[in-house]
């Protein structure tokens, strides 16, 4: 809720020409940054994996065998946030301690200074480096018990990396599971039932999500304006809409009284200038079914009061259609970013309940 209240300030600062909108949000989120402080349960260090920064959590508990590992990717719309933010730091500590697992929390570069595919490539670089047998031996990790996980934009990156790994012949170690927490998964239809139902909900109103998506690819406001009116996909990319057709992919209870409308196509110029928004590495729902085969057992968390709700639900439908085992945890009373509430005195109960469900699933399946 606090984040939403800062939006007018960010807009005003940008309008005055004082600083970029995302710079204001970054200043606000930086208040929550924590130092890498070890405790009695976990040793915490800031390090680099193949020159990409990451925060490493090593459990102190003795273990007779090799440890499990979770590679975590933080959210923040590819523009803000970081692994050192207090809620992410706390979640990683809990994960490391409760699972006796090594946790690698990736610190990828952010927009608007860096645009797609930089964020994807940073995460992919860390994951590919970590999955080398020599590195796993160094950290005492079992190569058969590794998870990739992320929330929101981090869930987007986790899903995209998991897909890309399937085609990478250099990577011999396979992910055992993936966990996608209220992920952003498609750029084509920003007028889904969930976008309509939650257009002005706290934390992530539609206007902010559209801004995050557009900033991921460019600072050119023409893309942002086209996305805001849902007229950004060129006609020559019309074949991609079948991958995000909510009338086929959403269960009835999420359709409510919404009626599917055919897309209104936008300028071919935008697709040519910024092809990233049509790239499956940015929008994992845009891959063919054959590209989903071989993905690991998947956990998808969605929140009812979230513009991204239907992205996650459509991915659940598509994964199940091709035979991937999926556990879908839908939280009726939650808004986007519920796991960020684990440090909030007012929302502790809900944040803890959801975090415990997620960690319990990891414990059983990893």
- Burial of 338 from C-beta contacts in 10 A (0-12 / 13-18 / 19+): buried
User: Would you call 1 helix, strand, or coil by DSSP?
Assistant: coil
| pLDDT band at residue 62 under the 50/70/90 scheme | confident
Annotated active-site residue 336? The verdict is yes
Mean pLDDT value across residues 207-227: 96
Question: What is the pLDDT, as a whole number, of residue 6?
Answer: 63
Annotated active-site residue 306? The verdict is yes
Task: Kindly list the domain boundaries of the chain, sorted by start residue.
Answer: 33-365
Distance separating alpha carbons of residues 271 and 260, to the nearest angstrom = 24
When comparing pLDDT for 3 and 352, which is higher?
352
Annotated active-site residue 152? The verdict is yes
**Which of 20, 74, 115, 336 does the annotation list as catalytic?**
336
| pLDDT band at residue 346 under the 50/70/90 scheme | low
**Which of 189, 191, 306, 310 does the annotation list as catalytic?**
306
Which CATH superfamily is 33-365 part of? Answer: Alpha/Beta hydrolase fold, catalytic domain (3.40.50.1820)
Q: pTM for the whole thing?
A: 0.95
Phi, psi of 256 (to 5 degrees): 50, -130
Question: What is the pLDDT, as a whole number, of residue 56?
Answer: 98
> What's the pLDDT tens digit per position in 116-153?
999 999 999 999 999 999 999 999 999 999 999 999 99
**Which of 83, 92, 105, 152 does the annotation list as catalytic?**
152
Look up residue 339 and give its DSSP letter: G
The answer to whether residues 57 and 43 touch, using CB atoms and an 8 Å cutoff, is yes
């Amino acid at each position: 809720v606090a984040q939403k209240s800062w939006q007018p300030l960010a807009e005003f600062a940008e309008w005055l020409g004082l600083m970029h909108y995302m710079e204001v949000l970054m200043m606000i989120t930086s208040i929550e940054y924590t130092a890498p402080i070890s405790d009695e349960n976990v040793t915490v260090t800031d390090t680099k994996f193949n020159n990409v920064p990451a925060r490493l959590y090593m459990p102190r508990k003795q273990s007779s065998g090799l440890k499990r590992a979770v590679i975590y990717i933080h959210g923040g719309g590819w523009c803000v946030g970081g692994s050192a933010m207090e809620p992410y730091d706390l979640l990683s500590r809990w994960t490391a301690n409760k699972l006796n697992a090594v946790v690698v929390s990736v610190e990828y570069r952010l927009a608007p200074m860096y645009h797609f595919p930089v964020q994807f490539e940073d995460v992919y670089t860390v994951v590919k480096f970590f999955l080398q047998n020599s590195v796993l031996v160094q950290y005492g990790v079992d190569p058969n018990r590794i998870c990739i996980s992320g929330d929101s934009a981090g869930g987007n990156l986790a899903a995209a990396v998991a897909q890309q790994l399937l085609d990478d012949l250099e990577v011999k170690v396979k992910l055992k599971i993936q966990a996608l927490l209220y992920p952003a998964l498609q750029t084509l239809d920003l007028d889904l039932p969930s976008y309509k139902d939650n257009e002005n909900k706290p934390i992530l109103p539609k206007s902010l999500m559209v801004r995050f998506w557009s900033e991921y690819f460019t600072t050119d406001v023409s893309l942002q304006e086209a996305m805001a009116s849902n007229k950004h996909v060129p006609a020559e990319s019309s074949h991609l809409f079948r991958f995000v057709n909510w009338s086929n992919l959403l269960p009835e209870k999420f359709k409510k009284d919404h009626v599917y409308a055919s897309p209104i196509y936008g300028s071919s110029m935008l697709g040519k200038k910024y092809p990233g928004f049509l790239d499956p590495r940015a929008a994992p729902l845009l891959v063919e079914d054959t590209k989903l085969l071989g993905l690991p057992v998947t956990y998808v968390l969605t929140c009812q009061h979230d513009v991204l709700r239907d992205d996650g639900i459509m991915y659940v439908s598509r994964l199940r259609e091709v035979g991937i085992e999926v556990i879908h945890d839908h939280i009726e009373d939650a808004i986007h970013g519920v796991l960020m509430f684990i440090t909030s005195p007012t929302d502790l109960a809900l944040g803890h309940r959801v975090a415990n469900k997620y960690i319990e699933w990891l414990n059983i399946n990893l």
